Amino acid sequence: MYEDKELVCKDCGKTFVFTAGEQEFYAEKGFQNEPQRCKECRNAKKNAGKGPREFFTAVCASCGKEAKVPFQPREDRPVYCSECYAKMKAAE
């Protein structure tokens, strides 16, 4: 039904493939226009206004290891490392 198409990125001028799967996804979502930028330029545009993400160091409330988290830890709330957090989620 859909066939891969080669498109030209409007930002960098490189050709990129608009795959049949992507075309089907666009159709399912009701998107009318084809993408105008390659994946790299889309990601660059999406992240252009964002600065680097700040991480904070905390001690895991479960295992005691150091944990890096993207939020300012508070004294009244426990913080878990990614391994302990994943174990807790799996147990729910």
38 and 62: one domain?
no
30 and 9: one domain?
yes
Specify the pTM. 0.53
66 and 35: one domain?
no
| 18-26: average pLDDT | 96
36 and 68: one domain?
no
The total domain count for the chain is 2
In this prediction, residue 28 carries a pLDDT of 96
12 and 43: one domain?
yes
Q: What are phi and psi of 26, to 5 degrees?
A: -60, -40
CB neighbours (10 Å) of residue 67?
Answer: 22
Side-chain half-sphere exposure of 64, counting CA atoms within 13 A: 0
* Per-residue pLDDT reduced to its tens digit, 29-79: 999 999 999 999 999 998 887 777 899 999 999 999 999 999 999 989 999
40 and 60: one domain?
no
* Residue ranges making up the domain that contains 27: 5-47
61 and 42: one domain?
no
